[in-house]
Amino acid sequence: MTFCKQFWQTLGVVALGALVSATAMGQVTTRNVTAGGAATSTKIVPGGSASIDVRLDVGTLLTTGTGLVGTVFTLSQVTPGTSGFFSITGRSFVGSPFNNAASGTPDSTVLFPPSNLLDPTNDDNLGRSTTGLTPTPPAANTLAANLTLTASATTPLGVYTFNETPIVSSATDDAANDYDMSTGAAYSITVGQTLTINKTGTGTGTVTADTGAINCGGTCSDIYPGTVVTLTATPSVGSTFLGWIGFGCLGTGTCVVTVDQAETITADFTVTAAILPPTISKSFGAANIAVGATTSLTFNIGNPNASTLTGIGFNDAFPAGLVVSTPNGLVGSCGGGTITAVQGATSISLSAATLAGGANCSFSVNVTANTAGTKNNTTGAVTSVEGGTGGTASASVTVAGIAAPTIAKSFAPNNVVVGGTSTLSFTVTNPNPSNAFTGVAFTDTLPAGVVVSTPNALTGSCGGGTITATAGSGVVSLAGASLAANSSCVFTVNVTATSNGTKVNITSAVTSVEGGTGNAASATLTVGIAAPIPTLQQWALWMLSLLMLIVAGVMMYSRRKN
């Protein structure tokens, strides 16, 4: 391509302006990319090589040319301003094959000795005569040349940019027209050292860098031109980052390194022991209570871990017929949490408690049973921020219904004659251990032939109730009495028998407001007829008869003796 150089050397300023105008028409544009790819940059270590494809976008030719037959490339180092850090080799593809007889130059010819360093003033890097070669027609993305830039072992770390030298780099078509090749973005080569990330341990995690491509994860190494890199280790769920190994990094914070030499840093991840949820248990203070009775309900919360649990909470909705007592009798606390136990409410809750590793807490609240039956009480699941959701707790209490009042009665004595008097006793009992009675009442209608004596000789009382026993009447009654839990009352009244016979006396059923209807009481009084008093004549006849019996006896005795 000596004609191409001569063309440029003889071309004047006017011609140069024409060429610039032609370039503006976009007829030949260069693009420098990675070999076989599209990237405009690459990274190598000292002594490494970068392979660059020079590609042309060739538009309509100026005149009668049917295609390019040759190119001349001068690749200049744009930054830094000094050069001499790379050697360059390459080959041209435009106008290939180069084993054309007219040129006598085979394809495999190295166009510039690799021992020579890149010289930005040398415009003969790939210059050669291509006269008579087969033209390359206008096309986009045509491979014009492949260049290899090799850094020396002493090439300073840094970023180097390259581009075709304006004016000197040109192309020629088969009509002997030369084209200045307009340049695209500069191609950059980063010469640096390799930073490699390894991961060790039983756990998993990711290491990322604040610059470059490291995201390990997937990409665990990159080349850096002596720059400062900050590494951050992030453990996966269920793992813990134990620390850094290598390159002077310690602890579990970020690792800041200056990558001015090849270095490997290891991140140590370990599997974290599973954090267990809190535990919960509960119990009633008594296994059996009566309706209306109160018992304690105790909760125990535990942290089975070595580490602290926060945000511990649960809710306990009571079964029907069970409420928080008034007052609630709250005793104890739980890790600074809020215990909600409103008087008369049907639930208890705990929220926002904190327990250190291995710690426990306990609190109790009084509850009252309003209905009978077995009360099976199961809490909601206990939870915490760190340990998640735990189990539930269950307990049962049996609530017995309120027993009815009882009544008993008796006559003393239980045998009298007509006209005789007996004491009639009544005993009324509240058998419930926890429930008081009000409105206790009964009526006792005396059997025929028995009436309340005159006077009635009433003794005793019964819970402030009204005892009615009118002299001469046939009825004894009690109304409006009150009996404390597990208590009794006794009262008596005299009755008189007015006729003989067996007198069976049965009361009505005893009742109360709380206990309902109880039993009836029964007792029997036997009434006989009194013997009549003898008259004086009857007494004289009895005495005469007795005297005659005595005389007769004496006479019989005397005869036998004689």
pTM higher than 0.85 for the full model? no
Distance CA 201, CA 267 (A): 8
CA distances (Å), 296 to each of 161, 342, 366, in order? Answer: 83, 15, 4
Largest interatomic CA distance in the chain: 213
Between 176 and 540, name the one with better pLDDT.
540
Neighbours of 141 (CB within 10 A): 12
Over residues 492-523, the pLDDT tens digits come to: 999 999 999 999 999 999 999 888 888 999 99
Three-state DSSP string of 399-438? EECCCCCEEEEEEECCEEECCCEEEEEEEEEECCCCCCEE
C-alpha torsion sign, points 34, 40, 43, 48: positive
Give the pLDDT score at 115.
38
Place of tokens 């027993």: 403
pLDDT at 118: 45
Least confident window among 50-59, 195-204, 376-385: 50-59
pLDDT confidence of residue 435? 85
3 state SS of 94: coil
In this predicted structure, the answer to whether residue 76 has a pLDDT above a threshold of 70 is no
441-488 pLDDT, tens digit per residue, is: 999 999 999 999 999 999 999 999 999 999 999 999 999 999 999 999
At residue 197, the pLDDT reads 95
Of 84-93, 168-177, 247-256, 465-474, the range with the lowest mean pLDDT is 84-93
- pLDDT at 135 (0 to 100): 64
Of the two residues 520 and 109, the one the predictor is more confident about is: 520
What is the mean pLDDT of the segment spanning 334-360? Answer: 96
Round to whole Å and give the CA distance between 208 and 67.
50
Is residue 385's pLDDT more than 70?
A: yes
The pLDDT assigned to 126 comes to 38
d(CA 237, CA 178): 65
Residue 20: pLDDT above 80? no
- Match 């300073």 to its residue by tokens: 156
382 — pLDDT class (breaks 50, 70, 90): very high
Instruction: Residue 150: count other Cβ atoms within 10 Å of its Cβ.
Output: 19
Residues in the chain: 562
Residue type, 389: T
Q: How confident is the model at residue 27 (pLDDT cuts 50, 70, 90)?
A: low
Is residue 281 within 8 A of residue 393, CB to CB? The reply is: yes
What is the Cα–Cα distance from 493 to 423, expressed in whole angstroms? 6
Q: What is the pLDDT of residue 73?
A: 60
Residue 562 pLDDT class (50, 70, 90 cuts): low
What does the block give as tokens for 71? Answer: 């190119």
The answer to whether residue 531 scores a pLDDT higher than 90 is no
In terms of Cα–Cα distance, which of 470, 462, 451 is closest to 491? 462
Contact assessment for residue 191 and residue 160, using Cβ atoms and an 8 Å cutoff: yes
